[in-house]
């Protein structure tokens, strides 16, 4: 890596760091003032330091979500700012006069973009799944607080799951109710009730499902079908039952986008079972395709930003930045429209994800020979 590369890459990280800190800071200020009452009510008369501690903990988790949201955008903005500063400070023409091609100046920006993509992958696959329960909690609540339960149906067994309250951090459902349909699971419709239920993730020893404590009626009183005997399992304690299902505590919390906080491996595993509705499954498949294509999309967006900022026919920095911003906004809108068409079955899901990539690649090829040389 040459001196010029280190110089441009240093500027890239400087702008990226300032942009991320400023974005998170603005979000904390606006959202904190908006929801300060929720933090105070959940603290139940605790001191101001306790309230500030809860806010700091909450927004530390939200900063990971913010990085996931603004990371790709900041890579493009950082590239735009770096080359705009080269023009403003009259540093570009000496580099071009020294024989450095304009395309060569893109190299450090691509290195920075690849590094950001690596951080995004680590954030998505390791950090977000580890704090997913914290991200799904209501604003201001603690790990011991309960929240509302939304009724969900397992579309593979048609069991409806509900309850009185949900403790998300402990994966506990208080006073749960599992409606067993007839004749799929039981010979007659019956509702299983329990003192509480704990959700267990899938392991090599057992499938995913809910462990019902003090369940009524007991297993011996049920008239299960052959399919029901694979879903409702007895345990060592005759008062306990185990319900096999992939509908976990995150789905019962009512967060329709909870799958965004799952690792790609967990997301693929969830897509292999028919427990979710068709619309939910399509959204998850589309999100998985977006994860796979995001690194390539970021690289193409950076490659498109450079020729738009360094347009040969224009030497106005403001005009070039405006044109570049307009092009990026149009690409983002086109990607959203494409994803929407994929969700409503108008176009295939894989094509809906790759269509913005194809469009951006075509624009890069079109604009690549319009840079200043």
Structure tokens at 70: 């603004």
pLDDT (tens digit per residue) in 205-229: 888 888 999 888 888 888 888 888 8
Of 153 and 73, the one with more pLDDT: 73
The CA distance from 266 to 62, in Å, is 21
Q: Is the bond preceding 305 in cis, omega lying within 30 degrees of 0? A: no
pLDDT (tens digit per residue) in 8-38: 889 999 999 999 999 999 998 888 888 777 7
Q: Using N-to-C axis directions, what is the helix angle for 317-343 and 349-367, rounded to 10°?
A: 160
Q: Kindly give, in sequence order, each residue whose CB lies less than 8 Å from that of residue 225, ignoring residues fewer than 6 positions away.
A: 183, 184, 185, 186, 187
The CA distance from 154 to 176, in Å, is 15
The CA distance from 131 to 57, in Å, is 11
Q: Is 58 helix (H, G, I), strand (E, B) or coil?
A: helix
The full length of the chain comes to 373
Q: Count CA atoms closer than 13 A to 262's CA, side-chain side.
A: 21
Order of strands, sheet of 177-180, starting from the edge strand that comes earlier in the sequence: 152-154, 159-162, 177-180, 190-193
Q: What does pLDDT average to over the chain? A: 83
Query: Is the pTM of the predicted complex or chain greater than 0.75?
Result: yes
- pLDDT-derived band at 278 (thresholds 50, 70, 90) equals low
């Amino acid at each position: 890596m040459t001196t010029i590369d280190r110089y441009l890459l240093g500027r890239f990280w400087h702008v990226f760091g300032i942009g991320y800190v400023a974005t998170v800071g603005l979000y904390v200020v606006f959202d904190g003032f908006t929801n300060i009452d929720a933090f105070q009510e959940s603290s139940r008369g605790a001191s101001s330091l306790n309230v500030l501690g809860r806010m700091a903990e909450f927004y530390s988790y939200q900063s990971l979500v913010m990085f996931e949201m603004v990371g790709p955008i900041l890579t493009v903005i950082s590239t735009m700012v770096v080359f705009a500063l080269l023009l403003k400070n009259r540093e570009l023409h000496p580099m071009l006069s020294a024989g450095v091609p304009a395309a060569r100046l893109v190299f450090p920006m691509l290195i920075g973009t690849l590094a950001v993509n690596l951080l995004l992958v680590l954030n998505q696959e390791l950090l977000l799944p580890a704090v997913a329960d914290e991200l799904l909690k209501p604003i201001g609540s603690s790990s011991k607080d309960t929240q509302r339960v939304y009724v969900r149906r397992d579309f593979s067994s048609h069991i409806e799951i509900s309850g009185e309250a949900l403790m998300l951090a402990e994966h506990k459902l208080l006073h749960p109710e599992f409606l067993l349909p007839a004749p799929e699971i039981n010979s007659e419709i019956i509702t299983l009730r329990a003192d509480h239920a704990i959700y267990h993730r899938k392991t090599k020893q057992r499938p995913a499902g809910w462990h019902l404590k003090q369940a009524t009626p007991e297993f011996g009183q049920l008239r299960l079908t052959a399919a029901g005997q694979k879903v409702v399992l007895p345990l060592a304690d005759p008062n306990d039952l185990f319900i096999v299902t992939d509908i976990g505590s995150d789905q019962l919390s009512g967060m329709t986008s909870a799958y965004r906080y799952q690792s790609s491996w967990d997301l693929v595993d969830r897509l292999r079972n028919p427990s979710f509705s068709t619309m939910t499954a399509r959204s998850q498949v589309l999100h998985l395709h977006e994860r796979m294509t995001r690194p390539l999309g970021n690289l193409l967006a950076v490659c498109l930003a450079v020729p738009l900022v360094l347009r040969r026919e224009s030497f106005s920095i403001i005009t070039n930045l405006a044109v570049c911003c307009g092009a990026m906004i149009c690409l983002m809108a086109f990607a959203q429209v494409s994803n929407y068409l994929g969700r409503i079955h108008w176009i295939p899901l894989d094509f809906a994800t790759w269509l913005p990539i194809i469009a951006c690649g075509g624009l890069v090829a079109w604009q690549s020979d319009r840079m200043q040389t």
